[in-house]
Amino acid sequence: MKGLAKVVVAVLAATVLYGCCAVCCEEVEEDAAVDDQLGWRLSMQAYTFHSGTFFEAVDKTHALGLKYIEMFPGQRISEDDSATTNFGMSAATRLKVKEKLRDAGLKLVNYGVVGAGDEAGWRSLFEFAKDMGIETIVSEPRAEHMDLVEKLCDEFEINVAIHNHPRPTHYWNPDTVLKAVEGRSERMGACADTGHWMRSGLDPIECLKKLEGRIISLHFKDLNESGGEGHDVPWGTGAGNAYSMLAEIKRQGLKGVFSIEYEYNWDNSVPEIRECARYFGLIAAAFAEEGYEPLFKEDLSEAIMSEGGWAVDGGVLAAKDEGDIWTKKRYGDFVIDLEFKCDPETNSGVFLRCKSIDEWLHTAIEVQILQPAVERPTECCGAIFDCLAPTKQMVKKPGEWNHYIIIAKANRIYVILNGEQVIDMDLDLWTEPHKNPDDTPNKFNYAYKDMSREGHVGLQYHGHPVWFRNLRIKPL
C-alpha cells in the first residue's frame, strides 16, 4: 500500500525481555504508523520500558516494528554499562548509543522530560541534542528560563515542546502552555500528553483544539476513564475517544511525532502496545487519500444487481427497484468511506465480505443503516446488525447526509459514524452460531469467527428510500 509503509513485526518466542511475556513467533504483518502523506511518525517513549535498560527499550521498539524512539533522562544504558541517559554522558557512551540505534534502524527524535538549572546546563543540553540528532527537547522550563530557551532553540535549530504533567503541576492546563509560548519562536510549543489531560479532568480533544498551531509532538494516550485513577488502555478502547483525537490532529494538518508512553501493565505491556500501533496504522490508512478507488463505477457496469435496480443521478446512487447492489470484486481487509441519506422510514445497510450473494443473510456482515429509533440496540444505526450495538446514537435527521468510515482488518471491524467511533468488534469473540458473546441470540447460521475474511461488498435496499454518494474503498 503506497503512502502507508508495511512493516513485518517478527518476535521470537524465545526472546523474553526483562519479564515481558513471550509472544507468538510467527511473523505478523502490521500497518506501520509512518504515513508519508500525513507526516505522522509513531515513536516509543523509552519510559514505557523504564524498569529495564535503554538498550532493552531499543530492542523492544525494534521488535514492535517502530522506527523512532524518545529517550528520557536517567535510564541505565545497558547491562554492561552503568552510565545513564543523562545529557552529560561521555562521548564514548554517546557513540555506543548511536551504534545501538543504528543497528536497530531507529532514529532518536525526542528527549525528555528534561530541563536544566542554569544557562550552562541548558547549553549543554542543547549541545547534547545536536550531537545525538534529536529534533525536539521535551521539557517543563521555569518562567525565568524562557528567554534563554527561546534563544537556544533558534541558535541550535532544535524544538522545545512543553509537556503537561497532571495537575497541580504548572503546565497541567493548555492555557499555561499557550501563555508561556505566546509571541515566541515557532520552535517553542507543546508536547501534548493526552493521558495527563484526562487525569487532570480535561477533555483532550478540546485541549488539542486550544493548542492548534502550537503542537510540536505528542505523548499520545487513551485511558480507561478520566480522573486521577485512569490508566492506559489500547488506543481506541478507552474513554479518550482516540479516533476523534486523531481526527482533530489531522484537521489541524499537524505533522509530527506521536510517542507511545504506555504507563500500565508494566511487565506485560507489549501486546497492548502492539494494539496501539495497529489502531494508529489503521486510522492513518483511513485518513490518507492515496489508495482509494470508487466502490462502483458511475455507470454501474461492474455492479451485480437486477437490471435497472439502481441508478446514479448527479453523483448520488439510489435504488429504483427491488434488490441489493454488490461489487463484482471481492475484498478482504479494507477501508470503506461513504455518505448516506435516509428518509423517515429508511432501513438499509452496508454488507461486508459476503461469501455468497445467494446466501447473503448468513454469509455477510451487515453494518446497519436505520433512520427510526428502535428498542433493540443491535438494530440501531451503526450496529453490526443483530450482533453488536453502537456505543452511541449518531444518525442525523431524515434528509441530512451521514458519513460512514468502516474498517475491516482481519478479525476486527471498526465503524465510525459522523465522526464518532461507535463499533470496535472482534469477530473471534462470536464463537457460536445464533449466539452473541453476551448470550443474547442472533439469527445467523454461522459463528462470526468463522465468517469469510473476504467477499463482496454490498448495499441493501429494503423497500425504503436510501441514497448514497462519495462511495470509495481502499484495500489494505
Q: For residues 423 and 391, is the Cβ–Cβ distance under 8 A?
A: yes
Cell of 36: 508519508
| Average of per-residue pLDDT values in the chain | 92
Q: How far apart are CA 167 and CA 351, in angstroms?
A: 47
Domain regions of the chain by residue span? 4-287, 293-475
Report the alpha-carbon distance of residue 294 to residue 301 in Å, rounded: 12
Burial 15-45 (b: 16+ CB within 10 A, else e): eebeebeebeeeeeebbbbbbeebebbbbbb
Burial class of residue 87, CB neighbours in 10 A (0-12, 13-18, 19+): buried
> Cβ contacts of residue 181 below 8 Å, gap of 6+?
162, 188, 189, 190, 214
- Burial track 455-476 (b if 16+ CB lie within 10 A, e otherwise): bbbbbbbeebbbbbeebebbeb
Give the CA radius of gyration of the chain. Answer: 25
What are 59-113's pLDDT values in tens digits? 999 999 999 999 999 999 999 999 999 999 999 999 999 999 999 999 999 999 9
Strands 215-220 and 188-193 turn out to be parallel
**Containing H/E element for 23?**
none
- Asked whether the beta carbons of 93 and 35 are under 8 A apart, the reply is no
In DSSP terms, 108 is beta-bridged to 69
- For the stretch 216-227, pLDDT in tens is 999 999 999 999
- Give pLDDT tens digits along the chain (476 positions): 333 333 333 332 323 333 333 333 333 334 443 356 899 999 999 999 999 999 999 999 999 999 999 999 999 999 999 999 999 999 999 999 999 999 999 999 999 999 999 999 999 999 999 999 999 999 999 999 999 999 999 999 999 999 999 999 999 999 999 999 999 999 999 999 999 999 999 999 999 999 999 999 999 999 999 999 999 999 999 999 999 999 999 999 999 999 999 999 999 999 999 999 999 999 999 999 999 999 999 999 999 999 999 999 999 999 998 899 999 999 999 999 999 999 999 999 999 999 999 999 999 999 999 999 899 999 999 999 999 999 999 999 999 999 999 999 999 999 999 999 999 999 999 999 999 999 999 999 999 999 999 999 999 999 999 999 999 999 99
3-class state of residue 145 by DSSP: helix
Model-level pTM?
A: 0.91
Cα distance between residue 155 and residue 143, in whole Å: 19
Query: In whole angstroms, how far apart are CA 224 and each of 261, 321, 392, 422?
Result: 15, 47, 17, 16
The architecture of the domain spanning 4-287 is Alpha-Beta Barrel (3.20)
Fold of 293-475: Jelly Rolls (2.60.120)
- Could you give the CA distance from residue 111 to residue 160 in angstroms, rounded to a whole number? 10
Q: What nine digits make up the cell of 469?
A: 454518494
